[in-house]
Chains A and B, each alone.
Chain A
Amino acid sequence: MIDEDEFWTRDDRAVATAVLGHDTVLFHVASGRIHHLNPSASQVWQACDGTVSLTSVIDDLTEHYRTPRAQVRNGVLGIVAALASDELLREVVRDPH
């Protein structure tokens, strides 16, 4: 279960990225798996740099698309969960202090 106050980041050492137009293609080097991200998933992928929470990502996309926040939230959390299950994103564990 992904929470929107979490921070997630791309694993750039494990994953090679090619941005082609509005799409992104990922290559998970260890497994050899290829992933094709559509424009929406590409935006989430780009935003997950470990410095901002998913709340911030959701807010930015909500403003960009002028779409109900709940709808964007569901989409972002779903994309992050899918990318995480394929070991493309990893959660940033933050120091509580």
Chain B
Amino acid sequence: MSELRPTSTACFRALGHRFSVHTFAELADHLDTMFSALGVDARPNHRYELSRSGGADRGWTLTMDDVELVRSKSASTVFAHLCWHVNRTAIDGCTDRILLHSSGAVDAVGRAVLLPADSGSGKTTLVAGLAQSGLAYLSDEAVGIELVSGTLLGYPKPLSIDPGSWSVLEAIRPQPHPAVAPFVETQWHVPPDALGAVARSARAAVVVSPSYVAGGGTNLRPLSPAETLVVLAENAFNLRGFGHAGFETLATVATECSGYSLEHDDLEDAVATITALLEGAMPE
């Protein structure tokens, strides 16, 4: 990286957050690929800049709209902060749909599985496995639900894959440009179209609340409609903003779906289990 040629990425829209990133050319190319499913033909509302810090430390600085967000000697720290900030701003600013902390995927006949759960439960790994098995990707982090209709709305952000899952997802390991490698050495950011199809909307057929339990095997437990509603409501980022109507929408989704909790420690088994649940669900 002897010479940094600054350039800007395309404009991306993460939910309502429209942004571009100004940085050196190789990293801008990487971001254009990474966020390709969020690309829009519009002007950005916000402009990030990721550049060399001034002074002697020769680290990296990230700004948004000329306000410094983070400065570090570690390129991967600054890049991770960029990804986190984009996602956090998108989620915090989302008011046009109920937003679930959930991953999701859609089968060939339009039936969706929602995977609502806290961080660390394996949402991203499971949805990566489902996408590899042929399902279309909705999101690895946040799925929208349209008020009243209950239609699911995708948020096709790049999959953020932590090192603990790298060994089971070797087939989708990114191959970054050498100049970009230091920025992505602690987390993979896989563009969804690298896995296959991307779904923009669907109807929920199955809700599976996953939890990763090392050494615990694959254990599936049916949930009652009330338990399914509790899972959905407790994993909604912004339900308070929609009041009674939002809760009634989630209740409708809960009654239309089959709900389960799933303990898992083997990706292949878990994907087979979820796929079988979808195949047994009512056709869309």
CB distance from B238 to the nearest CB of A (A): 10
- Asked if B225 lies at the interface with its beta carbon under 8 angstroms from chain A, I say yes
* Complex CA distance for A30 and B241, rounded to whole angstroms: 9
CB neighbours (8 Å) of B234 from chain A are: 34
Q: Which of A45-86 contact B (CB under 8 A)?
A: none
Query: Among A23, A29, A36, which residue has its beta carbon within 8 angstroms of that of B240?
Result: A29
CB distance from A71 to the nearest CB of B (A): 25
What are the interface flags for B191-229 relative to A under an 8 Å C-beta threshold, 1 for contact and 0 otherwise?
000000000000000000000000000000000111101
CB neighbours (8 Å) of B233 from chain A are: 25, 27, 34
CB neighbours (8 Å) of A18 from chain B are: 226, 229, 247-248, 251, 254
Closest residue on chain B to residue A12 by CB atoms:
B244
- Asked if B53 lies at the interface with its beta carbon under 8 angstroms from chain A, I say no
A34-B230 contact in complex given A20-B225, A20-B255, C-beta closer than 8 Å: yes
* Complex CA distance for A83 and B234, rounded to whole angstroms: 19
Contact between chains at A20 and B224 (CB < 8 Å): yes
Contact between chains at A16 and B224 (CB < 8 Å): no
- Asked if B243 lies at the interface with its beta carbon under 8 angstroms from chain A, I say yes
Query: Among A25, A27, A30, A32, which residue has its beta carbon within 8 angstroms of that of B226?
Result: A25
Contact between chains at B240 and A32 (CB < 8 Å): yes
Query: Among A20, A30, A32, A36, which residue has its beta carbon within 8 angstroms of that of B251?
Result: A20
- Asked if B267 lies at the interface with its beta carbon under 8 angstroms from chain A, I say no
> Number of contacting residues on A, CB 8 A?
13
Contact between chains at B229 and A29 (CB < 8 Å): no
Contact between chains at A27 and B225 (CB < 8 Å): no
List A residues at the B interface (Cβ < 8 Å): 16, 18, 20-21, 23-25, 27, 29-30, 32, 34, 36
Offer 30 A-B interface pairs, CB within 8 angstroms, sorted by A: A16-B243, A16-B244, A16-B248, A18-B226, A18-B229, A18-B251, A20-B224, A20-B225, A20-B226, A20-B229, A20-B251, A20-B254, A20-B255, A23-B224, A23-B225, A23-B226, A24-B226, A25-B229, A25-B233, A27-B233, A27-B239, A27-B244, A27-B247, A29-B240, A29-B243, A29-B244, A34-B230, A36-B226, A36-B227, A36-B230
